[in-house]
Structure 1
Amino acid sequence: LTNDLFSTICTEIHMFGICNRFSNMHTCPINIRHEDQRQATSKLIGECIKPKFLNIKTKATAMDIKGELKYRYGIKMNYMKAWRSKEHAVNDLRGNASDSYSLIPSFLHMVEKTNPGSFVDLKTAEDNSLLFVFMALDASIKGWGACRPIVVVDGTFLKAAYGGTLLCACTQDAAGHIFPLAFCVADSENDQSWKWFFKKFKEAYGVREHQCLISDRNESLIKAAREIYPEIAHSYCGYHILSNLKTSFKQHAAKYNLPFFGAVKAYTEKQFEFHMAELDGLDKRIRPYLKKIGYEKWSRIHSQNKRYSTMTSNISESLNAANLAARELPITTLLECLRALVQQWTHTNRTKAHNTFTKLSPTGEDILLKNYTYSLNLEVKY
């Protein structure tokens, strides 16, 4: 290039830079530009704090961010800037709550494509707004046949911007591990949501011999189960009934635990009556109350089908606890976290199974060993 041409190009570049700066001038009032904005924008701070939120279980308030940045970098900011910075970081990593709904069809399509055999479905209203979304992965559907024929269902609220309810179904495998079966996001626990959930669950899993359903005493759930699953036994969680007992009969509530669960877990009618007599001694109104619910709904000895050791809905509560942080996420990110959780648990349990060299699962072997040790002190009397 000649010197004249080089000078001309430099001049044009310089003028372009000036024009570009003038065309993108700040329009903020002078009092704002001269306060904390000159230090760092909320978007820039959001980029700096992104690594803090890579783990969805991380908890950090705007005050935490404000204090940390002041301590580490000497940046002073007000509460609103700290809050906006957190929103920038979280939205970039986990997605926007409103935009996430439009990604559901694409996510379900990819689940079917990458996990052939999975069962997913989506129901929308006339205005194309979301009503329900259902997901049962192929690994869960294939593993169901080797699990206990017990399905524990429960619902828990979501804490994202638009709320909602997460309905889930799970069981236990032969080793006693929690085995997630299906998830559904709905607006709330009502007649329509539970009916749709059970309908899709039945399409995905069918009905097994001696299958038993366990839940709390939610009226909508009971009504939907009776309509969709008339052929299987529906039992109730012992802890929920105990909680209702303590609420209804408060005088000796602290003493109900041992006799009630003794009656719940009794293997013989004699044991059952012994513990019921203990409850009678505490309050005469308890027996009629439990009889009205139905002994077959909560008692092992009276159950229509085998309940094994699943006398409560604890495994469902444990699954909800494992999803506690994920329940704050946008809906599509939530579904992805649930899918990843099933994948992680399946891989862990498969690895344990491959490293097991006993005829039974480690849990079963431990029970046999304890019973054998106990039997050494027993005597046979004729």
Structure 2
Amino acid sequence: MVKLDTMSESVSIYFKCEGRMYSIMIKTKASDITLSMLKGRINKKVGFVESHVKLELSYYPLVAESNEREKCTIYDDEDLDVYLTSFDTEKRRCVLIVDVTKTRDDEANAIVPYEEKDKGKGVQGDSKTLGREEGDEYVEQPPVVTPSQFIDPWEDGLTLRKFDEFPNKKALQEVVDRASFANCFRFKIAKSDKDRYVLKCSKEGCSWGLRATRVPHTEIFSIRRHNNMHSCSRASKSSSNSNRRGTPELVASLLHNDYPGQMETPRPKIIMELVKTKLGLSVSYSTALRGKVKAVSDLRGTAEESYKMLPCYLHMLEKVNQGTRTYMHLDENKKFMYLFIALGVSIEGFQVMRKVISIDATFLKNGYGGVLVFASAQDPNRHHYPLAFGVLDGENDASWNWFMEMLKPVIGDSSKIVFMTDRNASLIKAIANVYPQAHHGFCHASNYNRDVVAWRFMEVSRLYTVVEFEVEYNSFKIRYPNAAKYLEDSTKVEKWARCEFPRERYNLDTSNGVESLNSVFKDVRRYSLIPMLDAIIAKFSEWFNEHRKEAVSGSVANKLVPFVENYLHDLWGVAEKLKVTELNTFGLQYNVIDNDGKPYLVNLVMRSCGCRFFDIQKYPCVHVLAAFIEYLKTKDKTRDIQMHELCSRYYWTELWAMAYYQTIFLVPDKSQWNVPAWVKDVQIIPPKRKTKGGRKRTKRFASTGEKRSLKRKRTQNKRRRRHGLQWLLFGVSSNV
């Protein structure tokens, strides 16, 4: 028995060979050690020529209460795993027994003992030099390399069999190219035409070869002959294809192998390193980028194919998601113009959402121009709740009017509906035309100098009482007269001031919520049409699943969504310390003195407070919470009120869970599509490509309120005043 090495990244093995004990350490995990690897290390340790000897490994297994111990022979990697993982309670493993058999009787140097290898070296009689001392039994000696005239045959790494089929010749070429780079062999094309593809090794005398032929009346290529063993040396280079370069097709093939079915792959720089590591090949940044794009196109088709497959895709989307509405508009030449999608799950879930809808558009970067449009609500826990999205040819009167017309069957016109958008003139006009009963709020902060006026404007617009608003707005007009003049000339105060808005828009004062969706899908905007739709729907499905689990994760006692529950929890300690006077026991009216000494009238029955936070946000403020605590102390209650009853039903976890209880399903692969013939017959012509000079911009301009990266501070190239020779001799004074 020997002690087991407990190091996780190395394994120590003691073995006995021809009457002597040896030790080796393999610096890898036990699960990664193979039988061929272990035999190679033993040959190297003892000094055997691997091609001239055959090793048989065995050991005495640790079997409890066995009268006769029999050796267990290691035949394969599974037997080796059993040996490496077998040890007793004291962490000891059996000694490995190595039996040696010569495979060539005429080779005198098949086994070279250490005594003979070291004979004549060092000082005569020096036992350390001859390896005679007992302490040197476990010291690894340098092996003797016996030159061989022949190279042992080695495999090409292609796991091909006779009659294996490929969809076309290009697919076969990609497989062979990837294997040739990965296993460092070169080949030359003997014949290549529309019916045959014949390869042989570039080194003369090597028996490697491959032959494939086309199946008649198809594009399929079938393997007819494949000798997968090379008899040449990798060191013997040939110039036939030594200068071959990586192609986007090769990069895409590698990405499909390492990231199967994924449209999100690493950045081009990481792909360059991956190709170098996997295939030993250097590719340029542009090749890596084109390969990345091609990998996405292979999954869902090219940009042109996306438009042609769009009717079939929309049919399958409606089929897997019941209640989904999809609309598409073409011009008189059948050229694509507009697209609208509203998932059935979102349509049904909006019934229990606050009726505030934010709409915004962002530019596409796929080469065809146009904009990606989102219409989104906000759930009571302040998460995105997407309602509809689409693609338009631009932000103009016709496109916005079409989008709103498609949205109207999904969300009907009502005085309870509130839209929050930016000040795009076409969008404002479309909402007024299609939704005449709805109310429309504007986001004005982006029209001003962001670093000077925006933050102050947002503070003024978010005040809850009219008195406070008038005081602060008068101060704003004195400090920023140009901005105030613009507001008064361009719009009415009830369009942007929270306290003046006629309907309920809760905490939603800007369209920044839906604008953040643009940031989420900033990379997706570069995809072709169908891959972009896939990525958007997949993200929506992921959000719904996360929020569904979040909605049911709380206890039964939690009646309110986490955001409101945490808010009330934090205010409770402050509310308990406020002075409360009961004014009407039956009407549940209270007078609450705030910490600043101001009194506020609270009416629990009418759900109102003098600060108007309760009236607008629809959940208790600190004054209402203080009045409720006083109400709980009352012994003779005229009516029973629970905390969650003071909040709008939209903040109840019961309704929150109902909004997410259904699943958003993804569109399956096109090989599984079952589409009627009339859908397949719809012809769509892609829009004209729009090319611009210079490098494409991939990052959008951040909106007001969003965090923006700071510009690099100018240092050495900053312009400074000069003072002739005086500046050269004495520098510039600090007051310059």
Once residues 321 and 55 of structure 1 are traced to their aligned partners in structure 2, the CA distance between those partners, rounded to angstroms, is: 20
Once residues 427 and 283 of structure 2 are traced to their aligned partners in structure 1, the CA distance between those partners, rounded to angstroms, is: 49
Matching residue of 1:180: 386
**1:298 touches 1:311 (CA, 8 Å); kept in 2?**
yes
> Out of 465, 468, 475, which is 1:278 matched to?
475
Q: Return the TM-score normalized by structure 2.
A: 0.44
Q: What amino acid maps onto 1:152 in structure 2?
A: S
Matching residue of 1:243: 446
Once residues 42 and 331 of structure 1 are traced to their aligned partners in structure 2, the CA distance between those partners, rounded to angstroms, is: 21
Cα distance change of structure 1 residues 362 and 41 upon mapping to structure 2, 3 Å threshold: closer
Q: How does 1:264-303 map to 2 (within 5 A)?
A: 264-292=461-489, 293-303=491-501
Q: Kindly state the Cα deviation for residue 134 of structure 1 after the two structures are TM-superposed.
A: 0.7
> Which is further off, 362-371 or 256-265?
256-265
Q: Kindly state the Cα deviation for residue 135 of structure 1 after the two structures are TM-superposed.
A: 0.5
Cα distance change of structure 1 residues 163 and 53 upon mapping to structure 2, 3 Å threshold: farther
> Out of 421, 432, 438, which is 1:215 matched to?
421
Q: What amino acid maps onto 1:199 in structure 2?
A: E
- Cα displacement string for residues 142-170 of structure 1 (whole angstroms, at most 9, x for unaligned residues): 01111111010000111113232111100
Once residues 22 and 262 of structure 1 are traced to their aligned partners in structure 2, the CA distance between those partners, rounded to angstroms, is: 73
Are residues 1:138 and 2:344 paired?
yes
Task: List gaps (5 residues or longer) in structure 2.
Answer: 1-188, 199-238, 581-592, 594-598, 600-736
Matching residue of 1:360: 560
**1:149 touches 1:208 (CA, 8 Å); kept in 2?**
no
Task: List gaps (5 residues or longer) in structure 1.
Answer: 1-18, 27-31, 248-252
Q: How does 1:1-382 map to 2 (within 5 A)?
A: 21=191, 23=193, 34=241, 36-37=243-244, 42-50=248-256, 51=258, 55-61=262-268, 65-70=271-276, 72-77=278-283, 81-237=287-443, 241-246=444-449, 254=452, 256-292=453-489, 293-357=491-555, 358-380=558-580
Once residues 579 and 537 of structure 2 are traced to their aligned partners in structure 1, the CA distance between those partners, rounded to angstroms, is: 52
- Cα displacement string for residues 89-140 of structure 1 (whole angstroms, at most 9, x for unaligned residues): 2321343111110111011111221112111111111221111111001110
**1:265 touches 1:299 (CA, 8 Å); kept in 2?**
yes
**1:53 touches 1:89 (CA, 8 Å); kept in 2?**
no
Percent identical = 32
Matching residue of 1:5: none
**1:262 touches 1:272 (CA, 8 Å); kept in 2?**
no
Secondary structure class of the residue paired with 2:572: helix
Cα distance change of structure 1 residues 376 and 34 upon mapping to structure 2, 3 Å threshold: same
**2:356 touches 2:420 (CA, 8 Å); kept in 1?**
yes
Matching residue of 1:15: none
- Cα displacement string for residues 321-354 of structure 1 (whole angstroms, at most 9, x for unaligned residues): 2222221111112122222222222222122111
Cα distance change of structure 1 residues 66 and 155 upon mapping to structure 2, 3 Å threshold: same
> Which is further off, 147-156 or 324-333?
324-333
As a proportion of its length, which structure holds more strand?
2
Secondary structure class of the residue paired with 1:370: helix
- Cα displacement string for residues 224-260 of structure 1 (whole angstroms, at most 9, x for unaligned residues): 11111111111112xxx2232327xxxxx52x34532
Cα distance change of structure 1 residues 76 and 117 upon mapping to structure 2, 3 Å threshold: closer
> Which is further off, 368-377 or 309-318?
368-377
Q: What amino acid maps onto 1:21 in structure 2?
A: K
Once residues 541 and 481 of structure 2 are traced to their aligned partners in structure 1, the CA distance between those partners, rounded to angstroms, is: 50
Once residues 164 and 59 of structure 1 are traced to their aligned partners in structure 2, the CA distance between those partners, rounded to angstroms, is: 27
Secondary structure class of the residue paired with 2:579: coil
**2:300 touches 2:306 (CA, 8 Å); kept in 1?**
no
Once residues 299 and 528 of structure 2 are traced to their aligned partners in structure 1, the CA distance between those partners, rounded to angstroms, is: 11
Secondary structure class of the residue paired with 1:21: strand
Q: What amino acid maps onto 1:372 in structure 2?
A: W
Secondary structure class of the residue paired with 1:132: strand
Q: What amino acid maps onto 2:531 in structure 1?
A: T
Secondary structure class of the residue paired with 2:360: strand
Secondary structure class of the residue paired with 1:213: strand
Q: Kindly state the Cα deviation for residue 49 of structure 1 after the two structures are TM-superposed.
A: 2.8
> Which is further off, 213-222 or 329-338?
329-338
Cα distance change of structure 1 residues 164 and 279 upon mapping to structure 2, 3 Å threshold: same
Cα distance change of structure 1 residues 113 and 42 upon mapping to structure 2, 3 Å threshold: closer
**1:167 touches 1:183 (CA, 8 Å); kept in 2?**
yes
Calculate the aligned-residue CA RMSD, in Å: 2.7
Q: Return the TM-score normalized by structure 1.
A: 0.83
- Cα displacement string for residues 196-233 of structure 1 (whole angstroms, at most 9, x for unaligned residues): 11001011121344211110001111111111111111
Matching residue of 2:129: none
**2:340 touches 2:389 (CA, 8 Å); kept in 1?**
yes
Once residues 526 and 294 of structure 2 are traced to their aligned partners in structure 1, the CA distance between those partners, rounded to angstroms, is: 16
Once residues 352 and 60 of structure 1 are traced to their aligned partners in structure 2, the CA distance between those partners, rounded to angstroms, is: 32
**2:246 touches 2:282 (CA, 8 Å); kept in 1?**
no
**2:413 touches 2:436 (CA, 8 Å); kept in 1?**
no
Cα distance change of structure 1 residues 209 and 91 upon mapping to structure 2, 3 Å threshold: same
Q: Kindly state the Cα deviation for residue 68 of structure 1 after the two structures are TM-superposed.
A: 4.3
Q: How many residues align?
A: 348
Task: Identify the structure with bigger relative contact order (alpha carbons < 8 Å, sequence gap 6+).
Answer: 1
Once residues 48 and 262 of structure 1 are traced to their aligned partners in structure 2, the CA distance between those partners, rounded to angstroms, is: 53
**Higher radius of gyration, 1 or 2:** 2
**2:466 touches 2:499 (CA, 8 Å); kept in 1?**
yes
